[in-house]
Amino acid sequence: MSSCPALFISAPSSGSGKTSVTAAIARSRARRGERVRVFKTGPDFLDPGILERASGHPVYQLDLFMGGLAHCRALLAAAAREADLILVEGVMGLFDGAPSSADLAAAFGLPVLCVIDASAMAQTFAALATGLQRFRPGLQHCGVVANRVGSAAHSRMLGEGLPDDLPLVAALPRDAALRLPERHLGLVQALEQPALDAQLDAWADAWEAALRPGFALQFQHIDDVAEAAMPPLLQGRRIAVARDAAFGFLYPANVDLLRALGAELAFFSPLHHEPLPACDALWLPGGYPELHAEALSAHPTWAASLATHVAAGRPLLAECGGMLALLDALTDGEGRRHAMAGLMPGEARVQPRLAALGLQAIAWPEGALRGHSFHYSTLDTPLEPIAQASNPNGGHTAESLYQRGSLRASFVHHYFPSNPEAVAAFFAG
């Protein structure tokens, strides 16, 4: 049985620097020749792209709601079989949400390293760090990282008052050159950042320089466990999957599941005007069609091939941005209206403020699935929904599920492992 050390990186809030520190550790270890596997807590498509580039391996989600405890354990076990180090980046603040990052760390006994933005504090840093450590008894903390530190003197003040069992692991200097570009929904996608690898190396250099002499990170070992085999419910089915900068929001676990079910996947880029491959079913994941609406509307065969696909009764699943690309029209954030594929009646508009955010549970005709919603778009369609999602935390986001022939669409980003049988039944047609 294999075993692998694992560490959980969290923070008191979003924007503290969790992703940069996680990526810095991953890149630092990977360029030493270690096999590093990184996970992201909760639903996210943007941070994992950065972390994948840092570690050199796909980044999977660990979510106790979307996937469940057994699924998370299986993902960690699979990583333990082939890695020298496992890193798990939290989501939002350590105790935010239900389930929270703290819930996940506690479920697997992972020691927590908290990253705190120290740019506007001095001795209060120790009070905040100690409060995080003591708020939930039984949660193991192995140290803190001070981020955006102004000077060596500032670093000394930050360490004052920290208890012996909560060391200041590293003090990272404030450096505007290390910040990543952002847009609505979060960080700019990794595939759109040509200088990302150089920046990741700079992060790793900063991390190595900031580590306190003689300090060794503490880890919890993750053991291997056996996984049940997936029945080949999609054996012989060929599923086309859009994948590019306009349709880039794909969970690796979703892709793995379709393959485990026996499906052959054919990836293509609508953005680069590649034709729809010959297929039995089609999946249009979310992404940024609003940023590439002009190129999509100019695709010479896109609309006609989609119409032919649906007219033949072949399944088509469109999620969030994938759904927007199927509408009659889409108005982007600059107020420009673009004709879309016209398979789904209605129009969408990208607005400057957030329209929806939250975990989602939704009942497909084939069975219940889980996922999440996060978008700035509003939708106006005459279609009546066949189902309405619910938020486990009681939030107001409750997305609709639409069906038109073999076309199924929603703002929900579905997590396929939450119900493999339902997913297989839909794509089987």
Q: Which residues are catalytic?
A: 320
Contacts of 188 (CB under 8 A, 6+ apart): 46, 180, 181, 182
Contacts of 422 (CB under 8 A, 6+ apart): 364, 366, 367, 368, 369
Q: Is there a contact between 47 and 40 (Cβ–Cβ < 8 Å)?
A: yes
Find out whether 279 and 238 touch, Cβ atoms under 8 Å: yes
Question: Pairing relation of β-strands 407-410 and 400-404?
Answer: antiparallel
Q: Which residues are within 8 A (CB) of 429 and not within 5 positions of it... i.e. 6 or more apart? A: 280, 281, 313, 314, 315, 406
CA distance 341 to 115: 45
Closest to 411 measured CA to CA, from 338, 335, 336, 354: 354
How long a stretch of residues is the chain? 429
Taking the C-alpha atoms of residue 102 and residue 8, their distance in angstroms, rounded to an integer, is: 9
Task: Report the Cα 241 to chain-centroid distance in Å.
Answer: 18
Tell me which DSSP letter residue 420 carries. H
- Contact at 8 Å (CB) between 50 and 233? no
- Is residue 329 within 8 A of residue 345, CB to CB? The reply is no
CB 205 within 8 A of CB 393: no
Inter-residue contact 341 to 306 (CB < 8 Å): yes
Among left, alpha and beta (phi > 0; psi -120 to 50; other), residue 270 is alpha
Strand partners, 173: 149
Which tokens belong to 62? 């660990």
- Which residues lie across from 60 on neighbouring strands? 39
| Nearest-angstrom CA–CA distance, 218 and 7 | 7
